[in-house]
Structure formats: structure tokens, C-alpha cells
Amino acid sequence: MDPAIWSRLPEELLEHVLSFLPVRTFLNLRSTCKHFKSLLFSPSFMSKHTTPGSPFSSFLLLSHPQFYQQFPLYDSISGSWRHLALSLSVLLPVAGSNGSPTCTLLSSSNGLFCFSLPSSYSLLVCNFLAKSSRIVEFPSYPFSFDSLTFVSRPFGYKIFVLCSTFSSNSVFVYDSKIHSWQKFDPFEPILGYDYRQEGVLFDGSLYFTTSEPFSIACFDLESGRWERLDSELPGDLAFVRLVSDGENKLYLIGGVGRNGISRGVKLWELGDGRNWIEVESLPEMMCKKFVSVCYHNYERVYCFWHQGMICICCYTWPEILYCKVSRRTWHWLPKCPSLPEKWSCGFRWFSFVPELYAAV
């Protein structure tokens, strides 16, 4: 271990040796020297740790007000609950003097989390794996919003906010590349007031479903323009939600019935001709359970994409209904074993795919 010898070791060889370390072990070595810390942003070192042999898995993360700073994880690769919950106590502020939480998990995207910090009029974006975080201050004071969509990309992220606290409803978009907010045209004529659904990223735009009569609107993240999707939706819909695989497919999940009551749940895919093609129907017994869970109050229903799965959730139910798209099969996720029986609402699920190099 003669320093005179090791100091002459070419950097590419040193990176190669260090790449064999488990990522968690390497993270603990970051404080050893500036060079080790800088390797986190080295493209060659990054590429070695993003190979198919990466030790990371993918998780479904459960957030609940009673689980402050602790988030149970379901390993979607092994199909089991992790014994230890994810703790973000290092990155999050401590609870208030009365024990109440001071932040709320709002969204996740490609390994990044976005929390609200109401007491400081700001958002917190953090990468748990890299133990890094950034405070994003609100564009004005006071500031409240109806809906937030968080979109993380390889070279930055954007935060899309629908806000109805001004004289007319407005859209604000935060761009991490320039660390600033931009205000865009009102959305009220398209989405209406008090809109709370997240947008779905597809083909460079965020897509939203409107209230009845149902239609689809999209917001171009680059130009800031609103448009309506020129495609006829399936008939007899009681509720609609959108999901994107993050690449080139847009799906529609809808309850089919009359007078606002779903008698079935179906899945459609947007075809090349901008028409909706039916993909699958939820089996009858599973549909009965889903409808009973929702009590026909579909405002509580939300959906998201996770590693080839379309997840359908309800704020009042601790389980996830999901569809494996490639197999076209439906399943119920087993209930978290650490979840008390008496908890009956406030369940928020998120897709969590750890990504070391997702920059905040």
C-alpha cells in the first residue's frame, strides 16, 4: 500500500476498481477525499453502476400521515414487503412541537421525491440514495396550489403547479436547469376550478382528463400552450384516469357504467390514429371489490405507472390494484404487515426506482 505507487494509478483503473464496490459502501466513502466524491458525477463511473447487474431494485412506497418520515417499501422485483421501512429523517425537517408532520410527500419521479414544506413556503426535492436535497421556494407569498406534477429527466426536472389563489387560475412551472419559476396562461377554461389530479407525461407534454363531459387536455412543457386531444373517448364512462409508460404509450383507465356508477373497469391504449383501443377488462370479482372500496366516490382514485405495471389506488384503501401490462393480468398487492387495522384513509402510493445520479 505504498502511496508512491498508488498515487500513480491511472484514474480510469481506479474508477474500475471502485466500481466493484456496492453502491452503499461507496457512498460511505465519499467523505474520504474530494476525488471519490467527484466520481458520483463521472459519466464513466456512472455507466458502470447502471448496468443490468446493478444491486438496486424497484419499490412501491407507501406514505401515510401516521408514518411520518418512515415509508414502508414493497419490493416489486421479489414480490415482498421489506422488513425495514425507508427513513428520510436525515433529509427531512423534524416534526413540529405537537408531533405533527412539517412536510408532506407529494410526488416521485425517477428516484427523486418532492415534498411540500408549508411552514417555509417551499418545496423539498431530494434523492434518498445520494443523500442530497434542494429547497425550491414558492414563486410568491402566500402561495397555495391545487395540483402538483413532478417530472424528472436525465438532465434535470420540472415542477408543474396548478394554482387558483390569484384573480384567475394560473400555471407555474419550475425548471431545475435555470432554478426559476415561469408563469403561464390560465387553465380554468380547460380544466375548471379545484382540479387536483396530477398530469401524465407523454410525448413532451402533460396530459390531463377533464371533468364531465370527459375529455383530455395537454400542456406543452416547452411552449406552455394548452390543447385538447382530438380523440373520441369510449362511451358510458363513470370516471377516467391516464397513465403513461414514460416512453411512447398512453393508457386510459375508465369505469364503465351509467349515472356515475361503474359496472366494470377497462383499460385502453392510445393508437397511432389517435383512437382508443381496448386492451383489457378487470375481472368481475375484482371489479366488485374495487367498486366497494371506492364507494362510487371516484375522486379518491388515482393511478400511476411502475415498472411495467399500471397501479390503481384509492386514498381510503391500503391495497393496490395493478395490471401487468405485458401479461394482461390483474392482481391485488398484499396489505403492508406493519399497517395498523384502524387506519382507514390517507394512503398515498408512489413509484420508487432508486437512481443514484438523479440530480436535485
Q: Please give the domain boundaries of the chain with CATH numbers for all domains.
A: 3-49 (no CATH), 56-89+100-352 (2.120.10.80)
Helix or strand (DSSP H, E) at 264: strand 261-270
How much is the average pLDDT of 212-220? 90
C-alpha 360/C-alpha 349 separation (Å) is: 22
Write down how long the chain is. 360
How much is the average pLDDT of 194-207? 87
Res 167: pLDDT:
56
C-alpha 269/C-alpha 250 separation (Å) is: 6
Q: In the predicted model, is pLDDT for residue 172 greater than 90? A: yes
pLDDT in tens, 24-76: 677 677 778 877 777 765 655 655 555 444 445 789 999 988 877 788 999 88
Please, which residues have CB within 8 angstroms of residue 137's CB and are 6 or more apart in sequence?
Answer: 121, 122
Q: Which residues pair with 163 in a beta bridge?
A: 170
Res 43: pLDDT:
52
Among candidates 156, 158, 189, 153, which has minimal Cα distance to 172? 158
Res 315: pLDDT:
92
Out of 42-56, 91-105, 253-267, which region has the weakest mean confidence (pLDDT)?
42-56
Res 35: pLDDT:
77
Residue 154, burial from CB neighbour count under 10 angstroms (0-12, 13-18, 19+):
exposed
How would residue 131 be classed by pLDDT, with cut points 50, 70 and 90? confident
Res 52: pLDDT:
44
Q: In the predicted model, is pLDDT for residue 196 greater than 80? A: no
Query: Who has greater pLDDT, 31 or 189?
Result: 31
